[in-house]
Amino acid sequence: MDYKIAHAGLYDSTQPPPDFGHPMLKYFSLESGYVNLNNGSYGCVPRPVTRFCSELSNKVEANPDRYHRFSFKPLLVDSRERIAKLIGAHTDECVFVSNATAAVNTIMRNIEWNSEDIIVQTSTTWLSTSRVLTYVSDTRPYPMLSMFKLSFPTTHAAILDAFRAHISGLKKNMATVSGDTPPERTPKILAVIDSVVANPGAYMPWKEMVAICRAEGVMTLVDAAHSLGQEPNIDLEAVKPDFWISNCHKWLFARRGSAVMYVPFRNQHLIKTSIPTSTNYVSPKDPPGGPSAPNFVMQHEWPGAVDFTSYLCIPTCLEFRSWLGGEEKINNYCRCLAIDGGRRLARMFDTRVMDETPHAQLTLNMTNVKLPLPTKVSKDKKTEVNDFLELSLLKQYNVFAVTFYHGDAFWVRCSAQVFNDMSDFERLGDALLVLCNEAKDTLLKGFT
């Protein structure tokens, strides 16, 4: 869809886009004066995408029967085709769900577990994902959880060495315990791997981690919530994870909530039902002549009457991103700004960036900078200080980035988007210097 009214925040695709940075703000709906360095949490929807969603919603309401019975289906297929091409997968291996948490639930609750099975999570696994894994472990037949401990700063090489040792150790222990277990009861291991850790914002060597698991016969679920729109050249056909999920509404410019769930053909028999179970579920008790199980695509095509607009806007998102210059150009700008902005903050704070590896191997479009605060504080103070910083940033300064505590220090995670420039980092830094001094004089008085 080509929007011609450039002055209204839409765009003329026959003309080149403006430079990245603040000239891009007119294409987004951010309020005047608000500095958003937190695209990683909720994303930002460009005006052309918002316009598409509004117009489509009006068309839906003009004739709900025509839309829900016929019109949405080819639009949904088009969206799946576009996403599949972007991530290097077959169209019918990709379906949409509302968010990454929904996808994790769908996968983990469909797998048939045994009590001897092991689910590997990381100490930095996102909390909602971790809670799903805990729930699965808390319910019959009670598969076991294994924690792969990860602490930053670190390097890709160190992560891979530690992960390889962890997986190898589990396999050796499992072989010893299993003994003469029949093949149909052989315990399985599933590793949940982040492509990009959320807090701290750190790019993981997830493709190599998947390769380690494949070599050991371990299944993988890649939580790539932050990958789409931030990580080019994903190529799932080559990497071959067992499951892969990513939000479209964080970095790809889609409306919330929108996520893709990739299940390769070889594993679709494991996903017996969508969640919630849809009218297209195939029961082994069904009479012959109906659709064949697992009916994976159809189950997710119609999970009931929902708003499909967040899925159907994907082509508009990708067309806008193409007009901006495409994935490589967008992410080169954002990554360079994240690296340079993080270093600028570190100089302002007289601290350090978390990623000091050669070539910033842990950094995509998010950077983590140590805050000038005491390094060892009580648990209740961690929460109190984070709440104070985040609330004050918004209420007093109308600027935002995520603050968090990790590895005996407070950090700030900044997300760089095409509408940001270095002055945004400097404005955040000025605000945090004031707030950190205030926190040291009040909440953290007596801590060193």
* Per-residue pLDDT, 394: 96
Q: What is the mean pLDDT of residues 382-411?
A: 95
Judge whether residue 393 has pLDDT over 80: yes
404 pLDDT more than 50: yes
Nearest CA to 193 out of 243, 136, 249, 134 is that of 243
Share of the chain above pLDDT 70, in %: 96
Confidence check: pLDDT of 33 > 90: yes
Average pLDDT over residues 214-218: 97
Per-residue pLDDT of 59-91, as tens digits, reads: 999 999 999 999 999 999 999 999 999 999 999
**Prior bond to 141 cis, omega within 30?**
yes
Give the integer Cα–Cα distance in Å for 86 and 328. 12
Given pLDDT bands bounded at 50, 70 and 90, which one contains residue 8? low
Lowest-confidence pick of 43-57, 144-158, 180-194, 352-366:
180-194
CA–CA separation, 93 vs 282, rounded Å? 18
User: 298-306, long-range: CB within 8 Å, 24+ apart, which pairs?
Assistant: 299/273, 299/274, 300/95, 300/96, 300/97, 300/261, 300/274, 301/73, 301/76, 301/95, 302/278, 303/274, 303/276, 303/278, 304/276, 304/278, 304/279, 305/68, 306/98
pLDDT tier at 7 (50, 70, 90 boundaries)? very low
Helix axes 422-441, 327-349, angle to 10 degrees: 40
Q: Work out the average pLDDT over 193-208.
A: 97
Query: Above 50 in pLDDT, residue 6?
Result: no
CA neighbor of 401 nearest in space, from 419, 414, 387: 414
Q: Which of 397, 387, 403, 297 is nearest to 345 (CA)?
A: 403
Task: Decide if pLDDT at 181 tops 60.
Answer: yes
pLDDT of residue 446: 78
pLDDT at 95 over 60: yes
Closest listed residue to residue 343, CA positions, set 252, 414, 260: 414
Residue 350 has pLDDT above 80, yes or no: yes
Distance of CA 177 to the CA centre of its chain: 36
Give the pLDDT of residue 3: 41
| Cα separation values, 284 from 106, 114, 292, Å | 19, 21, 9
Backbone angles phi, psi at 328, to 5 degrees: -65, -45
Residue 182: pLDDT band with limits 50, 70, 90? low
pLDDT 10s digits, 366-378: 999 999 999 888 8
pLDDT of residue 12: 86
pLDDT (tens digit per residue) in 243-273: 999 999 999 999 999 999 999 999 999 999 9
**What is residue 304's predicted lDDT score, i.e. its pLDDT?**
83
Cα–Cα distance between 389 and 183 in angstroms, integer? 54
d(CA 163, CA 159): 6
Q: Which helix (H) or strand (E) holds 343?
A: helix 327-349
Predicted pLDDT of residue 337: 98
Phi/psi at 415 (nearest 5 deg)? -105, 130
Tokens matching residue 162: 């530690």
Query: pLDDT (tens digit, 9 = 90+) per residue, 119-163?
Result: 999 999 999 999 999 999 999 999 999 999 999 999 999 999 999
What's the mean pLDDT when you consider all of the chain?
Answer: 93
Specify the pTM.
Answer: 0.94
Q: Assign 179 a pLDDT band (cuts: 50, 70, 90).
A: low
